[in-house]
Structures are given as C-alpha cells and as structure tokens.
Amino acid sequence: MAHGQMLFQWQATGYHIAMMFSAEGRMLGITHESAHFYDAPSGCLGVVAILIVVIILIFICAAMTGGVLTRQRSKAERAQSLRGRAQVGTPADTMV
C-alpha cells in the first residue's frame, strides 16, 4: 500500500475483517463487516395451511363423485336390487 502501510484481511463465510498497519507496525485502524443470516421459519403455519387445503380438496372430490365416504354396496346387494327391479315389470310387459 502507499507509504509502506500494510493491510491484513481475514474473511470467512458471512464475515470480513480488515486491519491497517503503518510502516512501523503500529495499527492504524480496523474495520469489519458481517452478513446477517437468519434461520428459515419453522414452517408450522405452512404445514397447517397445506393440511387444510388437502382436507378441503378431499371433501370437494367426495361431493363431486357422489360421496367417497359413503358405504359401498356389496355384489350381493346390487344383485338383489336388480332382481327386485326385474320383478316389478318393464314397460314392454305392460304394452298391449
């Protein structure tokens, strides 16, 4: 540096120190600079919001498909229902 002065620097992630010395070795000044790193938020609120959206989507899909949450009829119940309809009569049987 000019006039025989010396500049020593130390750097690390997020931190920088600079020290200036005269030609005789006397410290003339020191400066420092640091970056302010912050931890990411814990995300608890984000998880709750995503959970609420998923629950709402499940209920919307259930309403659109006729109720996923309702009990499914067994094959025997469906067959019995079809036999009951066949016994009632069809429009072809009632035509003259």
Q: Are 55 and 48 in contact (CB under 8 A)?
A: no
Report the distance separating Cα 28 and Cα 20, nearest Å: 5
Return the number of other C-beta atoms located less than 10 Å from residue 20's C-beta.
16
Report the distance separating Cα 71 and Cα 79, nearest Å: 16
Cβ neighbours of residue 42 under 8 Å, at least 6 residues apart? Answer: none
Mean pLDDT by 10 residues, the chain (96 residues): 87 86 90 75 76 88 66 69 62 53
Total-model pTM: 0.35
What is the reported pLDDT for 65?
73
- Residue 24 per-residue DSSP state: T
